[in-house]
């Protein structure tokens, strides 16, 4: 197993007074960091805005629609952040997982010097390498923040040093894509700094992702756009066409063969796959 994360060093780098995060904790094991932070969301004193919880291992990690996210202790990063973006209307919080995806792309570019291709599969996957295999997933949830308030919990699972032989089908890691040795602390710092910067831009624009330039940033990094896709919706309905846009609400626009364009949100979608798969 790789060396454990250095909680004290991470706090000095990312926490107060100079860092962008209010609180950071590292635990050896837990069921789900998202569930843990959601349980604390009603107590702002215990979980203030910009709280980070990192687990060396999760045994009940989840992806979208309760899919399982598995990790091997010491080989990846599994963590969640709690945000209280009072500057942004709740109706605009659907951008949270997209911002996390952008942070992952920016961080991968930084820590690998641009040597590992990184792109986004709408709505919540990081694709790595020339083949575009899944290297990370994002899960964003709204939790009760106490009283009438709500909070955002955003979870990220990123494969860092997992060897090729130990990866799940369709998965990859930074190491498997030739990144060489990367300290997990270094990768975590890069992701959390990028996410804090993007969160600042989002809040400063009161959630207006067009004014903040975030829509353009996302479109430029979204590998789904321009491709023929098959979108599976609840109830077994299937939508086929070309992914042509991600709009200001974070929804995917799909133009069907007949010319009609259908817009779907992440919550409406069971799967999005390249056509023919």
pLDDT in tens, 101-155: 999 999 999 999 999 999 999 999 999 999 999 999 999 999 998 888 999 999 9
Q: Pick the closest to residue 202 from 106, 50, 51, 85 (CA basis).
A: 85
Q: Among positive and negative, which fits the CA dihedral 237, 242, 246, 247?
A: negative
The pLDDT of residue 268: 78
Q: Is residue 118 within 8 Å of 191, Cβ to Cβ?
A: no
* Residue 20 burial (C-beta neighbours within 10 Å; 0-12, 13-18, 19+): middle
Q: Pick the closest to residue 95 from 231, 11, 199, 14 (CA basis).
A: 199
Supply the pTM of this predicted model: 0.93
- For the residues 201-218, what does the mean pLDDT come to? 98
The pLDDT of residue 277: 58
Q: Is residue 99 within 8 Å of 123, Cβ to Cβ?
A: no
Q: Is 22 helix (H, G, I), strand (E, B) or coil?
A: coil
Phi and psi (nearest 5°) for 73? -55, 130
Q: Is residue 20 within 8 Å of 196, Cβ to Cβ?
A: yes
Q: Cα separation of 49 and 86, whole Å?
A: 10
Q: Cα separation of 138 and 152, whole Å?
A: 13
Phi and psi (nearest 5°) for 120? -115, 135
Least confident segment among 71-75, 193-197, 217-221, 232-236: 71-75
Cis link prior to 224 (omega < 30° from 0)? no
Q: Is residue 183 within 8 Å of 65, Cβ to Cβ?
A: no
**Running DSSP on this structure, what letter comes out for residue 30?**
B
Tokens representing 4 are: 């454990």
Tell me the pLDDT of the chain averaged across its residues. 92
Per-residue pLDDT band at 70 (split at 50, 70, 90): low
99: pLDDT strictly greater than 50: yes
The pLDDT of residue 203: 98
Q: Is residue 203 within 8 Å of 85, Cβ to Cβ?
A: yes
Tokens representing 108 are: 């991968």
Report the half-sphere exposure of 38 (CA within 13 A, side-chain side): 13
The pLDDT of residue 30: 95
CB atoms within 10 A of CB 57: 17
Count of H-run helices and E-run strands, the chain: 5, 12
Euclidean distance between the first and the last CA atom of the chain, given in angstroms as a whole number: 36
């Amino acid at each position: 197993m790789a060396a454990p994360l250095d909680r004290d060093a991470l706090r000095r780098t990312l926490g107060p007074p100079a860092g962008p995060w209010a609180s950071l904790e590292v635990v050896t094991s837990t069921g789900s960091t998202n569930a843990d932070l959601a349980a604390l969301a009603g107590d702002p004193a215990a979980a203030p805005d910009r709280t980070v919880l990192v687990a060396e291992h999760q045994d009940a990690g989840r992806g979208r629609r309760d899919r399982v996210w598995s990790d091997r202790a010491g080989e990846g990063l599994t963590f969640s952040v709690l945000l209280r973006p009072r500057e942004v209307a709740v109706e605009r919080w659907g951008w949270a997982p997209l911002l996390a995806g952008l942070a992952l792309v920016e961080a991968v570019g930084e820590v690998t010097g641009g040597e590992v291709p990184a792109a986004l599969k709408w709505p919540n996957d990081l694709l790595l390498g020339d083949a575009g295999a899944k290297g990370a997933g994002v899960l964003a949830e709204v939790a009760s923040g106490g009283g009438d308030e709500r909070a955002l919990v955003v979870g990220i699972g990123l494969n860092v040093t997992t060897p090729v032989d130990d990866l799940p089908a369709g998965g990859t890691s930074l190491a498997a894509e030739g990144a060489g040795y990367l300290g997990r602390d270094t990768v975590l710092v890069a992701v959390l700094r990028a996410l804090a910067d993007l969160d600042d831009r989002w809040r400063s624009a009161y959630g207006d992702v067009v004014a903040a330039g975030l829509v353009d940033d996302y479109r430029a990094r979204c590998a789904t756009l321009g491709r023929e896709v098959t979108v599976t919706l609840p109830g077994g309905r299937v939508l086929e066409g070309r992914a042509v846009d991600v709009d200001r609400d974070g929804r995917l626009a799909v133009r069907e063969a007949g010319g009609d364009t259908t817009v779907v949100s992440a919550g409406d979608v069971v799967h999005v796959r390249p056509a023919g798969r």
